[in-house]
Amino acid sequence: MAFVVVEEGESLESALRRFKRKVQQEAIIKEIKKHSVYLKPGERRRLKEAQARKRMRRRLKRERDSEY
């Protein structure tokens, strides 16, 4: 559970920014979205494989760019 303590003299906007950053780092929203929709096992597998291909393409592209 993400929470922030608002320190004395700190504006509410900066505390809200810290809270949003913490929520994003802890991947809370991603977890909620993941559990909000039921995916069939085959769909889940296809999505996982597609994400793996995307990561591999990105990694290969970075490696090719760093060679030059």
Q: CA of 61: how far to CAs of 9, 32, 49, 64, in Å?
A: 47, 31, 18, 5
2 confidence band (pLDDT: 50, 70, 90): confident
Full-model pTM: 0.51
Q: Is 22 in the same domain as 43?
A: no
Residue with tokens 């809370």: 28
Structural domains of the chain, count: 2
Q: Is 44 in the same domain as 17?
A: no
Q: What is the DSSP letter of 60?
A: H
Residue 29 to residue 25: CA distance in whole angstroms: 10
Q: Is 26 in the same domain as 49?
A: no
Backbone phi and psi for residue 40, each to the nearest 5 degrees, phi listed first: -65, 155
Q: Is 23 in the same domain as 33?
A: yes
Q: pLDDT of 13-58, one tens digit each?
A: 999 999 999 999 999 888 888 889 999 999 999 999 999 999 999 9
